[in-house]
Structure 1
Amino acid sequence: MTLRLFYVLLFIAATLKSTAQDLHLDKVDTFVSLIENNNRGIGSLTIYKGGKSIYDRNFGQASITDKEINKNTKYKIGSITKTFTAVLIFDLIENGSLSLEDKLEKFYPDMPGAKKITILEMLHHSSGLGDFAWTEDNPDWLNQKVTEKQIFDEIKKQGLIFTPGEKQEYSNSGYYLLAKIAEKVSKKEYAVLINEKICLPLGLNNTVSMTKEAKNIYESYTYGADKRWAEVEDFYFPNTTGAGDLAATTADMLTFINSLFTYKILKKETVEKMKPVIENKEYFGMGLMQMPMRNQMFYGHGGDTKGTHSALGYNEKDKVSIAIVLNGERYSRNQFLLGVLSMMYEEDFELPIFKDVEVTRANLDMYAGNYSSPELPIEISIFYDQGILYAQGTDQPPLPLEVYDTHKYQFEQADVKLEFLPDSKQMIFKQGGMVFKMTKK
């Protein structure tokens, strides 16, 4: 579950050289210290090898003076929840209560495409259903409690955005419906199913569905112009059942994914079905997505709430698994994960350089305006409010920008970098390897 402005892929694929038998955890620790010492992130990083913990560190928590944490403090894991939901569905399939070919019509006949959409297509993000978590007229509508009927009505309103089976496009709606189907078939609430089918058998004492009252949850934070962390208004998580409502420790997350890939939850042939088919250039499988980190292939999932960003992956080649949660993010989860794995496998990685840059009101006045380029279909409006510079694409929500060098700003969560050229009234916009020179109107 994530905002959609300047959307980029969750993970970065590139060419890497090493297969590295040794894991350079001292370098990982130096990298994490760099992030912590520059107040660039709050979170937790845990690494397992062969199902055993080899690295475990919380970082940045000292910046939040009014919050006490302990080993049982849980983080919101966002869409990693979808892997848990997929496990529930495949458990029902293995015991004969469901089939991948069952139609949505069997459970919710009044849903869009119900006569055509299969369980497989909902798991596979190829159902054609939209995304109830995002509405252009009110992107924050799930921050407050809504009814199940309101969510169903929004799914119906959005209808089908493509023919079922035609292609893949990420759908929170599909996974919300899968959770509701699991409830219908089992005659039990989602939170109860998660506990009975996954948490109790695996000993996950610190994994909970926030559809019920959950305790000891670490909230999400954002860094403000006053150079302090402030709590973020996040989703009302019972609105996101099955799609993003779980909270867990990184240790529980790793126990879960190691149990999945050692076939303690589902059969081996089932886990193989869950993985994306790389030869078909699939990014999403059925509950697992590919996480290519150069030549290291991890399978797992990423998660985003309004303020917490997480990743969980398992590398079958060397039985290494990694769980990252950033509930305070000034250095993006993508780059953090890439940095950790680059350090771990001793590969090239350019360490970030952090420095304070003074920004005056005169600077902000020079940057403000509407920028366009014949190579981009949207305009980008630059404006400021209470000392914070924002970038807003046409028909998109505004992004708060952070200065990182003279005339240079970024929104790291989407890999967006802006460099202003005040003398020529131009701006260089960079994202995901693309570069555009834009001119102020």
Structure 2
Amino acid sequence: MRSAAIFLLFTFAFMLNSFAQEIDTKKLDSFFYALKDQNKSMGSFAVAKNSKIVYETSTGYSALSPDSILASSATQYRIGSISKMFTAVMIFQLIDEGKLSLDTKLSKYFPQMPRAQEISIRNLLSHTSGLMDYVNDVVDKDWITNPHPAAELLDTIAKRKLHFAPGEKQQYSNSGYLLMGYILEKITGKKYSKLLETRIVKKINLKNTVSSIANNLGKEEAKPYRMIKNWNDIKDIYFPNVIGVGDILSTPADLLVFINALSTGTLISKASYAQMSTFNGRDSFGMGLISVPFYSQVGVGHNGGTYGSYSAVYYFKESGISIASCINGLNYPLNDINIAVLQISNGMPFKTPNFKAMQLTAEELKAYSGVYVNKMLPFKMTIAENNGTLTAQATGQSAFPIEAVSKGVFKFDGAGIVLEFNLEKKKMTLKQGGQKFIFNKQDN
């Protein structure tokens, strides 16, 4: 549900010509074994070809305490914003049934919302409403980790001005999907969890997908962890705050059944699916789906991210390949994992990365220690050596470990961060997400 987890962008390079070949499951095993062996991820993964699941695996643990429980194909994960796909499907089901239309105004159900008479269901689905984001726009990011009644959530949205006029721009907003979850309940007179069960889960025989369960009450639910030397517990979003937005529990196998059923017309009409999967630009959102470019192919699907879980599900019509990832412990970029799985599944050249870090002495690490500043950025970066480990810490944030990959180059795979040091010039370059920033080391 966090905006940082929304886009998956692959670089176009060359045309694929190996759609018909078998998927190399041994190479997939080798890649996931390396992730597991180097503590790069804990989670479950699956691949389907022409709607048939041909590969499943799990790494690490669904829970580390009080008892260690290995992750398995039955482990359920919080899928974050992939939940929005389910909400969008049920909205389109009501449209197919004539109970709602894309032009229906928000004022019919929530007249207290700003400019509700101008905001349509179309705007809510496509993130063009202009509504504030009740998850990401609040100053206190821990606010969403504590329980809030529906009335308070609605009031939070209603009291804030729009970011822009409805339809003027496209900007990701969790608020639109919260409202659509409530609209589903108003129209049908049934709870969201029951609608999910009857309209999707039972219809396509999903085995491990549920909604409206509070944190860690599901029998098979994976607990979230963050890597700081070891896996550490995370306080995640309080999921009853985000029903219809990012609370659903599911598995990679169920997600593959879902996205393949969606793409083949089992859940909604062809006309509605065409609306869901129409994009205004290469990087834009459709109505509950995002476009996913991968070399010559363009797939559809969605990403999901909570404070402690990460997920993705994508379907590529050209090759018939669909993949799903559900992760409760991430110490390597999810984007890189998904690219690797797609490369292997499409028969492209792939070499498993060497995840092992260079070994440096405490004295060698101390040479990089210090406070680094960039006058254009509102924070400092503190680099410190602690018991043979080098850590980085931005002002006001938690410290995270960085690993040496070559002389003067360190990385933190969990956030896709690379730090390059020039000790002679007392400079550090931070690279992340295709951007780079140069910091100068402060004198003691």
With structure 1 as the length reference, what TM-score do the two structures score? 0.90
CA contact (8 A) 1:222 1:328 kept: yes
Q: CA RMSD in A?
A: 2.5
Deviation at 1:116, TM superposition (A): 0.9
In structure 1, the residue corresponding to 2:69 is in which secondary structure?
coil
> Superposed, which structure 2 residues align to 1:225-244 within 5 Å?
225=229, 228-244=230-246
Partner of 1:368: 370
Check conservation: 1:276, 1:282, Cα contact below 8 A: no
Match of 1:439 in 2: 440
C-alpha change, 1:241 and 1:25, in structure 2 (3 Å) is same
Counterparts of 2:401 and 2:128, CA distance in 1: 34
Q: Kindly report which structure 2 residues correspond to 1:161-180, keeping only aligned pairs within 5 A, or say none.
A: 161-180=163-182
**Aligned to 2:202, what secondary structure does the other structure show?**
helix
Aligned residue in 1 for 2:206: 204
Equivalent residues of 1:399, 1:411 under 8 A apart: no
Instruction: Give the whole-Å Cα distance in 2 for the aligned partners of 1:367 and 1:14.
Output: 39
Is the aligned partner of 1:89 residue 2:91?
yes
Q: When the two structures are superposed, what TM-score results if normalisation uses the length of structure 2?
A: 0.89
**Are 1:19 and 1:296, in contact at CA under 8 Å, matched by a contact in 2?**
no
- Name the SS of the counterpart of 1:209 in structure 2: coil
C-alpha separation in 1, matches of 2:414 and 2:12 = 19
Given that 1:86 and 1:286 are in contact with CA atoms closer than 8 Å, whether structure 2 keeps it comes out as yes
Counterpart in the other structure of 2:222: 218
Alignment of 1:30-41 (within 5 A): 30-41=30-41
> After superposition, where does 1:36-435 map in structure 2 within 5 Å?
36-61=36-61, 64=64, 66-211=68-213, 214-225=218-229, 228-277=230-279, 280-349=281-350, 351-356=352-357, 357-358=359-360, 360=362, 363=365, 366-372=368-374, 377-383=376-382, 387=386, 389-392=391-394, 397=397, 400-405=400-405, 406-435=407-436
Displacement of 1:221 in angstroms is 1.3
User: Percent identical across equivalent pairs?
Assistant: 32
Q: Provide the C-alpha distance between the structure 2 equivalents of 1:380 and 1:436, rounded to a whole number of angstroms.
A: 12
Residue type of the alignment partner of 2:435: M
1:126-159 Cα offsets, whole Å, 9 max, x none, are 1111211124531111111111122122213432
Count residues with an aligned counterpart: 431
Most deviating of 413-422 and 50-59: 413-422
Q: In structure 1, how many angstroms separate the alpha carbons of the residues matched to 2:194 and 2:352?
A: 44
CA distance in 1, matches of 2:366, 2:381: 9
- Taking the aligned partners of 1:153 and 1:214, their CA distance within structure 2 comes to 29
Match of 2:17 in 1: 19
SS for the counterpart of 1:98 is coil
Q: Deviation at 1:385?
A: 8.0
**Cα drift, residue 312 of structure 1:** 0.3
CA deviation string 1:83-111 (max 9, x = no partner): 00000100111101111001111111111
Task: Give the C-alpha shift of residue 69 in structure 1.
Answer: 4.6
- Per-residue CA distance 1:318-353 (angstroms, 9 max, x = gap): 222111112111111111001111122233556422
Cα distance in 1 for partners of 2:235, 2:354 equals 30
Change (3 A) 1:361 1:219: farther
Are the aligned partners of 1:89 and 1:178 in contact in 2 as well (CA < 8 Å)?
A: yes
Looking at structure 1, the residues matched to 258 and 326 of structure 2 have their Cα atoms a distance apart, in angstroms, of 15
Quick one: structure 1 residues 62 and 195, their matched pair in 2 at CA, closer, same or farther if it must change by over 3 Å?
Answer: closer
Question: Match for 2:18: what amino acid?
Answer: A
C-alpha change, 1:187 and 1:63, in structure 2 (3 Å) is closer
Partners of 2:84 and 2:6 in 1: CA distance: 20
